[in-house]
Amino acid sequence: MADDHHNDNHHDHSQPPPTAEPTSPTAEPLSLAHYNTHGFCQHQSPTFPLARHRHEALANAGCQAARRDWARLIGPGAPHEFGACNPVNGNFVALLFPLCRVERLGVVGYVVEYSFLHDSVVEGLGEESSAQPDKFGLGELETTRPNIKAGRKQMQAKIVSLLSDIDKAGAARIMAVWKAMLSRTLRDKTKDFANLEEYIEFRSIDTGGAFGEALMLFGLGMTLTAEEDALLAHITQPCYASFALVNDYFSFDREWGDTQSKPGASKPIINAVWLYMQWRGVSVAVAKRLVAAASNRYEARFLELCERFRNEHKPISPKLDLYLRGLSYQVSGNVVWSLNCPRYYPGFRYDPNAGLEDTITLGLRAKKRLAGERDAESSVVLHCA
């Protein structure tokens, strides 16, 4: 990776969205070969691209702004859960949206961090949470702590304002998708799933595939017509499915640990690893291999559909080519972020509210230069105060 990551030049914000890596002014190309991806995204032809946004510091700043607002408006106290930040492999936003316009990156970081914090709260709620799912409700917490309801509304209003001031159409899509996602999650989070297909149909929404797509479009300054949405729908489905299974694979140990630490808890784990353990009567290790294999099938299907679409629509428009590239970055970026994100792995944690991300990343890059270790960013374990 380039060593001048944090010595970013100021770009003309009136530029059109970047067209493709590796010539994009925002995307720093990386190689998946430098990471142990646990078998994910290893297809040889075609392959998944990987990049990290050169202005990652803006994404980190947006995340920290959301955390400060959460602590001030919702609280009590600073949030202890980790969200999008990962100073080792890269911020979730920097890896999944490396083509995002520079001036929109901080806003996307703010929204993503809020969604992570919100998700951490919703995971612990009971059935009462479904009272106002379309209003970003936090269920019982809003009746026991009135400041939470008021604070949540203030943060929601700020998000709408931040997005709408930049791109009203993009903001409307993000908010519509969020409401649909949360409503579905709260309604079906205790449902029994008979097979993988039934689970994927739910999890593709719950994990936020369409939400990620909406954020990607916002970041690119791109609006899809209804006809384009319909034309691309069959391609997004395996993309979302892979995204969901990768999330399940890497987050399972944390989710299982949380469950074991709460004796008597009846809330089921919404995770494909757990479901395979139940469906097949297998161990965690075997179930993880089954999840990875299923994800590989969806990855291959996604790549196949992208290639077919490009062949059937020659010459493909720059807009739709950029859209397909953006989705591809989300698949690979999600895997690389998940390898060592503090949200999943205690060994990589530090004070999540101290704003240390840029400093840690710079330190890791300095170590990499001195040691000459190409894979330093995927192997070092943080021990930060």
List, as one string, the DSSP characters of 172-230. HHHHHHHHHHHHHHHHHTT----SHHHHHHHHHHHTTHHHHHHHHHHHHT----HHHHH
Contact 177, 169 (CB under 8 A): no
List pLDDT tens digits, range 320-357: 999 999 999 999 999 999 999 999 999 999 999 999 99
- Is residue 193 scored above 60 in pLDDT? yes
Residue 96 has pLDDT above 70, yes or no: yes
What pLDDT does residue 270 have? 87
Concatenated DSSP letters of 336-363: HHHTT-TTT-GGG---TTS--HHHHHHH
Q: Between 215 and 378, name the one with better pLDDT.
A: 215
pLDDT tens profile 39-70: 999 987 789 999 999 999 999 999 999 999 99
Q: Residue 30's beta-bridge partner residues?
A: 50
pLDDT of residue 180: 85
pTM for this prediction: 0.86
Kindly indicate the confidence band of residue 114, based on its pLDDT and cuts at 50, 70 and 90.
Answer: very high
- Return left, alpha or beta for 49; rule: phi > 0 is left, psi -120 to 50 is alpha, else beta: beta
d(CA 122, CA 102): 31
Rounded Cα–Cα distance for residues 354 and 86 (Å): 13
pLDDT-derived band at 79, boundaries 50, 70, 90: confident
The pLDDT, as a whole number, for residue 132 is: 46
Contact 84, 59 (CB under 8 A): yes
pLDDT tens-digit profile of 357-381? Answer: 999 999 999 998 888 755 555 555 5
Task: Say how far apart CA 94 and CA 58 lie, in whole Å.
Answer: 9
Q: Could you say which DSSP state residue 282 is in?
A: -
Task: Tell which wins on pLDDT, 20 or 333.
Answer: 333
Q: Residue 52 — φ and ψ, nearest 5°?
A: -130, 130
Q: Please say if the pLDDT value at position 122 is more than 80.
A: no
Rounded mean pLDDT of 207-230? 94
Residue 182 pLDDT class (50, 70, 90 cuts)? confident
Judge whether 119 and 113 are in contact, CB under 8 Å: no
**CATH number at 42-255+268-342:** 1.10.600.10
Q: What residues does each domain of the chain span?
A: 42-255+268-342
Predicted local distance difference test score (pLDDT) of residue 129: 43
- In angstroms, what CA-CA distances link 4 with 111, 172, 254, 362? 27, 36, 34, 9
| pLDDT tens-digit series, residues 242-292 | 999 999 999 999 999 888 776 655 566 889 999 999 999 999 999 999 999
Q: Cβ distance 329 to 243 under 8 Å?
A: no
The answer to whether the beta carbons of residues 187 and 122 sit under 8 Å apart is: no
Average pLDDT, the chain: 85
Q: Is the pLDDT of residue 126 over 50?
A: no
CA distances for 248 relative to 4, 171, 344, 350, angstroms = 34, 28, 11, 23
Over 80: is that where the pLDDT of 18 sits?
no
8-state DSSP, 52:
E
